[in-house]
Structure 1
């Protein structure tokens, strides 16, 4: 049950996140759909390639594609003043998508009996991969490469699931809430990882 729930939550959240970025960049309707779909499914596609699943696995998710298209359509048809409000809160949908897909990716790797390192990588790629592709297509620096904490939360989810210290849907739902809240606070409170800049010498 948890697998389907996180799949739907992540798909809707990232589809809307991609649509928000497309509208901010003034893409046309086709561009909004493309960026929304790529954001929703890009991370899973990258994960499947790296863990050895066929790319064709992506096309078996007909229901998820329909859900993504429906979410993008509803968002696009929302009144302008509501869309402006959502633009200001677009990082919320991104946080939800990151958390849901990181957990789903880690679960997928565990079901494949992969080692814990692969579980963590699957969590990061599934959680952040779609956002990376979205930002690159929009001409933006990917969030995961900035100094603010982003990919670390996905990796943490992968580590906890990979260690199998806890089990059951209740734990996964609780972990989803915790990762979403942590990502939310890392954005609003300006939490960041240490950085070191090397001066450019001519």
Structure 2
């Protein structure tokens, strides 16, 4: 049951996140739906490739596709004057999607008896893969690679699930809330990982 709930939460959150980014970039309605679908299912497709699950398994998730389409339609039909507020909500939904899908991806790998390293990779790719594809299609630098702390929270989720620190549904839901809150705090307070630029600046 936890698996299905996290799948639904992550799908809705990332579908909405992709739709919001598409509207920010002034894509047409087809672009909104495509970007939303790619964001919701792209991470799972990449994960499946790397842990040995046929990509065709995605097409067995028909109900999730309908849920994603419904979520994107609702967002698209919101009054235009409310859309400027969606940028803040876009980050919120992105945080929820990251947390839900990172845990779901880790559970997927654990279910297949993969080692801890594979569990962590599955968590990161499921949690952030769709967002990376979304940003690339939107002509943006992938958020996970340059801004704030993003994939670290997925790594933590992978560790906790892979080491079986969180196993019961209640523990997994608590982990979901913790990871989502950490992601929200990281963009709210602009937490960043250390970085080193090779750009040279000329002072005149």
TM-score, normalising length: structure 2: 0.96
Distance in 2 separating the partners of 1:19 and 1:118: 30
CA contact (8 A) 2:105 2:126 kept: yes
Residue 33 of structure 1 and its aligned partner are, at CA, apart by: 0.3
Deviations 1:125-182 (A, max 9, x none): 0000000000000000001101410000001000010001232000000000000000
CA contact (8 A) 1:147 1:194 kept: no
Residue 78 of structure 1 and its aligned partner are, at CA, apart by: 1.0
CA contact (8 A) 2:166 2:175 kept: no
2:54 aligns with 54
Residue 45 of structure 1 and its aligned partner are, at CA, apart by: 0.2
1:16 aligns with 16
Deviations 1:48-81 (A, max 9, x none): 0011111110100000000000000111111112
2:194 aligns with 194
Distance in 2 separating the partners of 1:147 and 1:137: 17
After TM superposition, the structure 1 stretch with the greater mean CA deviation from structure 2, 127-136 or 147-156, is 147-156
1:149 aligns with 149
2:75 aligns with 75
1:39 aligns with 39
Deviations 1:105-139 (A, max 9, x none): 00000000000000000000000000000000000
1:7 aligns with 7
Distance in 2 separating the partners of 1:31 and 1:9: 22
Unaligned ranges ≥5, structure 2:
none
What do you get for the CA RMSD once the two structures are aligned?
A: 1.2
Alignment: residue pair count = 201
Unaligned ranges ≥5, structure 1:
none
CA contact (8 A) 1:11 1:40 kept: yes
2:97 aligns with 97
Distance in 2 separating the partners of 1:185 and 1:11: 22
Distance in 2 separating the partners of 1:140 and 1:78: 25
Secondary structure, aligned partner of 1:89: helix
Distance in 2 separating the partners of 1:60 and 1:86: 31
1:174 aligns with 174
CA contact (8 A) 1:147 1:195 kept: no
